[in-house]
Structure 1
């Protein structure tokens, strides 16, 4: 599992480096700002501070901050093949 604090300042998906996909799953939680999560073949998903998203990282995506103030996110990436936690039995 990889945890990142991300500052998003790109105003367009092209400025963010385009849409990219990779192995695993991705969780993001917005700490500040109102970023848009862009996916291939769909409308951008706008998020506000306190909101989260979970998606397959295989799906090409980019984080964009339409506002000049940018956005700060907490992102957690889970590499493909990582063992899933087992429930604790009592």
Structure 2
């Protein structure tokens, strides 16, 4: 798994260099701010602080912050064929 913390400040899909897809699965969580998750087809999905999304990364997508304050984003990528890690025992 690959874990990333990002600050999203782009306001349009064009500023985000367009839509991109890749292999694997993607989980994103918005700790602060507001984010729009854009896909090649359909309406963007708005995520507010505390909300999350899980999707197949092969779907072309882009993260956009609709407000000037931007958004903080945590992303976990699972490469294809890699099983998710087992939770630690208490």
| TM-score for both structures, normalised by structure 1 | 0.91
Matches within 5 A, 1:69-84: 69-84=69-84
- Structure 1 residue 34: Cα displacement: 0.5
- Structure 1 residue 85: Cα displacement: 5.5
**Any idea what the Cα deviations from partners look like across 1:8-47, whole Å, max 9, x if unmatched?**
0010011011000000000000011010000001100000
- Structure 1 residue 81: Cα displacement: 1.2
Equivalenced residues, count: 87
Give secondary structure in 2 for the equivalent of 1:34.
strand
**Any idea what the Cα deviations from partners look like across 1:35-77, whole Å, max 9, x if unmatched?**
0000001100000000000000000000000100000011000
Gaps of 5+ in 1: none
Matches within 5 A, 1:79-90: 79-84=79-84
Instruction: Tell me if 1:44 matches 2:44.
Output: yes
Larger radius of gyration: 1
Match of 1:22 in 2: 22
* RMSD, aligned CA: 1.5
Structure 1 residues 69 and 78 mapped into 2: Cα distance closer, same or farther (>3 Å)?
same
C-alpha contact (below 8 Å) 2:78/2:84 kept by paired residues: no
| TM-score for both structures, normalised by structure 2 | 0.91
How far apart, CA to CA, are the structure 2 residues paired with 1:64 and 1:85? 29
C-alpha contact (below 8 Å) 2:30/2:49 kept by paired residues: yes
